[in-house]
Amino acid sequence: MSAMETKKKIRVLIAKPDLDGHDRGAKIVALALRDAGMEVAYTGLHQSIEQIVSTAVQESVDIIGLSIMTGAHLSISQRLIGQLKEAKMDHVKVVVGGVIPKKDIKALKEIGVHAVFPGGTPFSEITDTIQALVNGG
């Protein structure tokens, strides 16, 4: 059995929270993660934080990837991480991608976001980072 077969597949939930209606990037990232051997669930558009947490619980995900283009990344991330804690799901790692100004990356990490992928981040960096977060690398 190869090393890849002995590790469980990484389960990722890609979510488009709140009023964000732009999902092309989220869909492309979901495909890239699948191509890298991960199991990916995509929530579709306009998901509430409650819906995202509920789906994360149902799908037993390792990672929640928020795709945010609206500029509300700080408040959305804070609400999501708070609800994950309430649901005793704070072992799920949160990553955020989309239109994220460099000045907000530090604040996102202080909130508890594990990784930030501004627009244009190479797929290889996203997949490598997620694999390292889940596998402790």
Residue 25 lies in a domain: yes
Residue 3 lies in a domain: no
Report in angstroms the alpha-carbon separations of 125 from 1, 63, 73, 78, 118: 27, 15, 20, 24, 11
What CATH number does the domain containing 20 carry?
3.40.50.280
Task: Tell me the residue range of the domain where 39 lies.
Answer: 9-132
pLDDT at 128 over 50: yes
Report pLDDT for 2.
45
Residue 31 lies in a domain: yes
**Beta sheet of 11-15, edge-to-edge order:** 39-42, 11-15, 63-68, 93-98, 115-118
pLDDT at 136 over 60: yes
Residue 1 lies in a domain: no
Lowest pLDDT segment from 4-8, 14-18, 98-102, 131-135 = 4-8
Kindly report, residue by residue over 10-69, the tens digit of the pLDDT: 999 999 998 777 888 999 999 999 999 999 999 989 899 999 999 999 999 999 999 999
Residue 109 lies in a domain: yes
pTM: 0.92
* 77, 63 Cβ separation under 8 angstroms: no
- Nearby residues of 76 by Cβ (< 8 Å), 6 or more positions away: 17, 18, 49, 66, 68
Residue 62 lies in a domain: yes
Domain count, the chain: 1
Residue 2 lies in a domain: no
